[in-house]
Each structure stands twice: as C-alpha cells, then as structure tokens.
Amino acid sequence: MRARTARATDATGVHRIIAHYAGDGSLLPRTEDEIRKHIGHFLVLVEKRNEEEKLLGCVALEPYGPDLSEIRSLAVAPDARGHGYNVGDRLMKAAIDTARRRKIARLFAVTHRPEFFSRYGFTPGPRQMVPEKIERDCVTCPKEHRCKLVATVAVVCPERDVLPVLNGAGALSIL
C-alpha cells in the first residue's frame, strides 16, 4: 500500500469515492471535470493487486496561497473500510507529510468530525478562524447561515508560520 500524487487516470475513481459520501452530505459534491482539472491537488492511497492498482482512498490539498492549504475531500473507498487498512490515517499522514515537504505553514479542514482532525494536532474553532475559506467558498454556499461545520487548523511547518505582530496598543506593526 502506498500514497502517491493522483494521476489523470485516477479522476473517475476519485469521483466515485467522493460521490458516495456526497450522497449522504458527509462531503461536498465535486464533479468529475472539477476533479480532473485539479487532479494535481489530490493524493491517493493505492494497493497493488494483480499488476493493477486498487484505489483505497483520496484526499486533496487545496492551496490558499504559499503558506495555507485546505485538507478537502478526505474519503475512504467503501470497500476498503473496516478491513484494518487504516486508510484515513494513512491519507492524513501523507497529506501532512506532503504539506511539510512543500513548506506549507498551516493546514485547515472544515468538517463535521473535528475529533478526527484533533488526533493529528488540529485545533477546532469557528469557521471565522479561516477567513480565506469564508471568502472563497462560504459566502456563495446555500448553507452558509445554517452551517454546522467546524474549522480545524494545524501548524505543520512552524518555521514558515508568520503571525502578525501587534504593538503595545494592539495595532498591527510592520517589521
């Protein structure tokens, strides 16, 4: 079993997995065209079987700039669940490792299951703690005012995490 960057040939399988969970509202739906267009953002976990790879799960690292990415579309193939593969765990570790290699300072996820992300050092809070997400997606979402999703954020590359510096009066200072 290994994690790798998704290829164009994985788009249909990734779409099938995401669509399975979008049906019950666990994930936001994504079209196959959208997935194909952004296939480079996806990581997949595959297992070699009879000279072919079986897709076990996927996760996307959606960039929001050089220092921030969203963990999105984290999903385990239905037939890979409950078999001791730990697909979700392996995908999370692969996503975090990839973010570190790319020197991305912070990762975030907007989720119904903040406790899952807490196991990987993510801190839960209101969606407002990731204003980039609100600006990009939430303002046009039909569920915006009744959304129950929780934002979770983790610093994965601390040497790249730059916070604003406040002066004694609480105003932003430029260094």
Alpha-carbon gap, residue 41 to 63, rounded angstroms: 8
What pLDDT sits at residue 142?
66
* Whether 75 contacts 61, CB under 8 Å: no
**Which residues, including other chains, have CB under 8 Å from residue 129's CB and lie 6 or more apart?**
108, 151, 153
What pLDDT sits at residue 170?
46
How many Cα neighbours within 13 Å face the side chain of 123? Answer: 6
What's the predicted TM-score (pTM) here? 0.86
Mean pLDDT of 132-136: 80
158 compared with 13, residue with greater pLDDT: 13
Alpha-carbon gap, residue 132 to 70, rounded angstroms: 10
Give 39-83 pLDDT, tens digit per residue.
999 999 999 988 899 999 999 999 998 899 999 999 999 999 887
Give 86-105 pLDDT, tens digit per residue.
999 999 999 999 999 999 99
Q: Which residue ranges form the domains of the chain, and what is each CATH number?
A: 2-160 (3.40.630.30)
DSSP, collapsed to helix, strand or coil, labels residue 38 as coil
Q: How far is CA 74 from CA 56, 62, 99, 141, in A?
A: 11, 11, 15, 20
